């Protein structure tokens, strides 16, 4: 099925870390194969880094993640000594294949500026199209699930796994094309990489609608469960649940009424609640309605003479969902959001009488959408102590440049057939230019400080540069107001209007500017008007339209009460006067007893230092334990997958909330050690852990 006249190349770098500019390649493997997946040639080499001095503080992390000892690389060739061996694999007929390919291509171009190839194929992107609702889309997890896993983490093994994953993806696409021949016409109408590598057999068949499976909306029967005792200590709406388990608290809540919303402080806690309900065979749903797709807009998309790559891939993904008998669409990127928003036409009711959500999601729903949709539900707030802060975040909205542009992009796609696309595109260009100027001018505010948040009066404290913006700001404000008037009868424009008003308020008054780190350490800034803190009265006013109850795990309203912590005597406090020597001794004892431990820390520097200490301890005693650490051993969803499968004793170093996620996945530990919690209300955080870990 693959074209015979092309060269297919999988390559992988092992690197000292993830920054293309600062970090270095330390190993490369390249595999060249043909259309039948027969390996034609391969090359591998370790690479001597240019600067060992800058890497000394990463030696343990590099060795742990790559199994490569930096000292061993001193006798290896530099990259430029093997450059010609690498170049011979690449030409104008080469298809480069890899998982999250842009990272490795960036490293390749860092060393070889004039590297040549035809196109790149990202197995990660196509995995998201064809493998649905996976716990993680990391290469080794897909390899483990689909039985092509090799010994990892090594550049050769990763290259082989990537080739095997590419083979599975091509086979799945071939299967879909054989079952639904009209798909070939869809792909052929785009510039997708699939056109370059697959011999498509086009035909006269036409797709008249995007295939879909419908949800069964039959309402579940309510189960009667025993009501546990809960002491009512404040008033008729706040209950103390410190004496019962999460299971008992949920049982009590869902017996109040036929329709109940259970609201929690975080997604990890909602996952715990879902686990409890699944164990009771009780269905639940998230706080969103499901949608009917517009037949008219479907036809517009399918009848296009030329499709964008992401449009043909969306249709391919829809056929894959249909072929796998899935009724819920697995939306995974911004382009899919654009198409889905264009296609939806009608909102339907919830699919369950029990809804599980987070405080912030619920407050946003109440503020921006439909109270009427949930007026028949009783709302039960767990994690009551965090309700006020969640409401504060919703009421005191931030303005985000990137998010604002994305919303305009969604509108542009949605109204592409209404002769308004050009007007929206012009506005996006003007707004982007204005935001870029503001972004450049904001940077000096953070130049001489380590603060991530600055309180400024833009009109007063930044006069020198704001004067330069007064005219363009007036112009862009006029443009946006005209744009809002043009779409005044469209519900989609309300968010644009609200967010622009937030930015105007920031420009005209004191405001908070926060510096945030995005992927690959790109900085961005968000703005927030300076508003007064909200209190319990604000919360009561916000919720006065419905009936609600609150669950509290403490009787002390100030949340400063000191107490002794213990989870069946498993929770040990090491935070005060931390003695590393004693800690290491305790860890060694745990290891000797084959016990798993969780070291609680939300301080990244502390966690990194602790990781190095434990890693060297394992090497010294040749211990066959597994160690998992924040920002070192993969991202959290990938890590949860491995923790779930891991039958060996293990040490996990992570923040407190991740421990609750472990609980939701039935991942257990023998002991928990509190090492570093630098939150203001750490006592209530630990009390919360007790409740969810019972």
Q: Which CATH number fits domain 571-693: 3.40.50, 1.10.3470, 3.30.530, 1.10.1240?
A: 3.40.50
Average pLDDT value for residue range 668-674: 83
The model's pTM: 0.83
The token pair at 2 is 């693959």
460 band by pLDDT with thresholds 50, 70 and 90: low
Share of the chain above pLDDT 70, in %: 79
DSSP 253-301: HTTS-SSEEEEESSHHHHHHHHHHHHHTT---B-S---EEEPHHHHHHH
Interval 277-326: pLDDT, tens? 888 888 888 887 666 778 888 889 999 999 999 999 999 999 999 999 88
* pLDDT given for residue 563 in this prediction: 27
Gap between the Cα atoms of 441 and 472, Å rounded = 14
Instruction: Of 508, 510, 440, 524, give the one whose Cα is nearest residue 473.
Output: 508
Could you tell me which residue, 673 or 131, shows the higher pLDDT? 131
Look at residue 569 and tell me whether its pLDDT is greater than 70: no
Q: 38-85, pLDDT tens digit by residue?
A: 999 999 999 988 876 666 556 666 666 666 777 788 889 999 999 999
Count the Cβ atoms, other than its own, within 10 Å of residue 512. Answer: 17
CB 101 within 8 A of CB 122: yes
DSSP letter at 333? S
- Which range, of 247-256, 455-464, 628-637, averages the lowest pLDDT? 455-464
194 or 550: which leads in pLDDT? 194
Strand partners, 95: 8, 119
What b/e sequence results for 359-371 when a residue is b if at least 16 CB atoms lie within 10 Å of its CB, and e otherwise?
bbbbbbbbeeeee
Q: What is the arithmetic mean of pLDDT over 179-192?
A: 93
Q: Residue 121: its pLDDT value, please?
A: 97
**Furthest C-alpha separation in the chain:** 77
34 pLDDT more than 90: yes
Measured CA to CA, the distance from residue 138 to residue 99 in angstroms comes to: 8
Parallel/antiparallel/unpaired status of strands 378-381 and 260-264: parallel
With bands split at pLDDT 50, 70 and 90, how would you rate the model's confidence at 654?
confident
**Cβ atoms of 283 and 221 closer than 8 Å:** no
- Domain residues of the chain, as ranges? 7-179, 291-347, 399-529, 571-693
Top-confidence residue, 34 or 680: 34
Count of other CB atoms within 10 angstroms of residue 570: 14
Low-confidence winner among 248-257, 266-275, 512-521, 604-613 (lowest mean pLDDT) = 512-521
Q: With 90 as the cut, is the pLDDT of residue 591 above it?
A: no
Unique residue bearing structure tokens 């350490």: 521
Phi-psi map region of 568: left, alpha, beta (phi>0 left; psi -120 to 50 alpha): left
In the chain, the percentage of residues whose pLDDT exceeds 90 is 27
pLDDT digit string (tens) for 145-154?
888 766 555 5
Query: For residue 638, is pLDDT > 50?
Result: yes
pLDDT number for residue 558? 38
Q: Pull the structure tokens for residue 254.
A: 């869902």
What CATH code is assigned to 7-179? Answer: 3.30.420.10
Can you give the pLDDT at residue 173? 96
User: What is the C-alpha separation between 650 and 43, in angstroms, rounded?
Assistant: 36
Mean residue pLDDT of the chain comes to 80
Buried b (16+ CB within 10 A) or exposed e, 469-482: beeebeebeebbee
Report the Cα–Cα distance between both ends of the chain, in Å, rounded.
55
Which pLDDT belongs to residue 150?
60
- Could you tell me how far CA 75 lies from the centroid of its own chain? 40
User: Which pLDDT band holds residue 178 (cuts at 50, 70, 90)?
Assistant: very high
pLDDT digits (tens, 9 = 90+) for 79-127: 999 999 999 999 999 999 999 898 899 999 999 999 999 999 999 999 9
Residue 234 DSSP class: S
Residue 65: what pLDDT? 66
Distance CA 367, CA 372 (A): 12
Predicted pLDDT of residue 586: 75
Question: What pLDDT, on a 0 to 100 scale, did the predictor assign at position 58?
Answer: 60
Confidence band of 468 (pLDDT split at 50, 70, 90):
low
DSSP, collapsed to helix, strand or coil, labels residue 74 as: helix
pLDDT of residue 639: 78
Judged against a pLDDT cut of 60, whether residue 637 lies above it is answered with: yes
Task: Kindly state the average pLDDT of the residues 190-195.
Answer: 94
Compute the CA torsion angle 164, 168, 169, 170 (nearest 10 deg).
100
pLDDT of residue 680: 57
Q: Which residue has the higher pLDDT, 295 or 511?
A: 295
């Amino acid at each position: 099925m693959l074209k015979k006249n092309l060269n297919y190349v999988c390559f992988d770098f092992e690197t000292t870390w993830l920054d293309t500019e600062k970090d270095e390649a330390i190993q490369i493997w390249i595999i060249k194969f043909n259309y039948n997946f027969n390996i034609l040639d391969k090359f591998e080499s370790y690479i001597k880094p240019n600067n060992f001095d800058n890497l000394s503080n990463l030696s343990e992390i590099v060795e742990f993640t790559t199994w490569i000892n930096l000292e061993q690389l001193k006798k290896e060739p530099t990259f430029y000594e093997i450059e010609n061996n690498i170049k011979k694999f690449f030409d104008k007929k080469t298809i480069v294949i890899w998982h999250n390919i842009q990272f490795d291509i960036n490293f390749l171009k860092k060393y070889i500026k004039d590297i040549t190839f035809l196109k790149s194929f990202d197995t990660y992107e196509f995995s998201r199209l064809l493998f649905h609702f996976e716990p993680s889309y990391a290469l080794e997890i897909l390899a483990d699930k689909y039985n092509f896993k090799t010994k990892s983490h090594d550049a050769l093994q990763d290259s082989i796994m990537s080739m095997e994953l590419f083979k599975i993806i091509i086979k799945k696409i071939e299967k879909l094309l054989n079952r639904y021949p009209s798909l070939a016409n869809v792909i052929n109408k785009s510039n997708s990489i699939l056109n370059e590598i697959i011999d498509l057999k086009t035909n006269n068949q036409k797709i008249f609608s995007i295939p879909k499976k419908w949800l069964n909306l039959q309402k579940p029967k309510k189960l009667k469960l025993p009501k546990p005792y809960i002491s009512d200590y404040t008033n008729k709406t706040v209950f103390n649940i410190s004496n019962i388990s999460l299971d008992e608290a949920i049982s009590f809540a869902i017996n109040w009424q036929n329709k109940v919303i259970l609201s929690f402080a975080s997604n990890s806690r909602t996952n715990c609640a879902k686990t409890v309900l699944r164990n009771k065979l009780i269905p639940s749903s998230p706080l969103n309605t499901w949608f009917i797709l517009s037949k008219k807009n479907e036809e517009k998309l399918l009848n296009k003479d030329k499709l964008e790559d992401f449009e043909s891939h969306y249709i391919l993904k829809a056929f894959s969902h249909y072929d796998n008998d899935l009724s819920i669409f697995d939306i995974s990127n911004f382009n899919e959001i654009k198409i889905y928003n264009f296609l939806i036409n009608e909102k339907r009711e919830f699919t369950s009488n029990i809804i599980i959500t987070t405080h912030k999601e619920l407050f946003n729903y109440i503020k921006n959408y439909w109270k009427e949709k949930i007026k028949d539900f009783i709302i039960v707030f767990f994690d009551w102590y965090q309700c006020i802060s969640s409401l504060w975040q919703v009421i005191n909205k931030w303005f985000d440049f990137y998010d604002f542009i994305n919303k305009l992009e969604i509108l542009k796609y949605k109204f592409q057939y209404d002769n308004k696309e050009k007007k929206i595109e012009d506005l996006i260009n003007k707004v982007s230019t204005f935001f870029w100027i503001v972004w450049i001018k904001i940077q000096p505010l953070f130049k001489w400080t380590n603060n991530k948040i600055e309180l400024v009066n833009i009109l007063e404290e930044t006069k020198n540069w704001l004067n330069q913006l007064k005219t363009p700001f007036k112009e862009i404000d006029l443009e946006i107001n005209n744009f809002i008037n043009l779409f005044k009868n469209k519900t989609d424009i309300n968010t644009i209007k609200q967010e622009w008003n937030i930015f105007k308020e920031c420009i005209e008054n004191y405001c908070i500017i926060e510096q945030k780190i995005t992927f690959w350490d790109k900085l961005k800034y968000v703005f927030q008007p300076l508003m007064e803190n909200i209190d319990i009265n604000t919360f009561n006013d916000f919720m006065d339209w419905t009936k609600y109850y609150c669950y509290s795990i403490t009787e002390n309203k100030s949340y400063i009460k000191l107490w002794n912590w213990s989870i069946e005597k498993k929770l040990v406090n090491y935070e005060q006067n931390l003695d590393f020597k004693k800690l290491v001794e305790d860890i060694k004892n745990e290891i000797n007893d084959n016990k798993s431990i969780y070291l609680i820390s939300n301080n990244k520097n502390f966690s990194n230092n602790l990781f190095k200490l434990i890693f060297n301890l394992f090497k010294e005693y040749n211990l066959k334990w597994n160690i998992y650490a924040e920002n070192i051993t993969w991202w959290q969803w990938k890590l949860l997958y491995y923790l779930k499968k891991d039958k060996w004793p293990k040490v996990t170093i992570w923040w407190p909330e991740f421990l609750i996620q472990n609980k939701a996945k039935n991942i257990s530990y023998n002991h928990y050690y509190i090492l570093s919690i630098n939150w203001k209300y750490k006592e209530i955080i630990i009390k919360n852990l007790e409740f969810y870990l019972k």
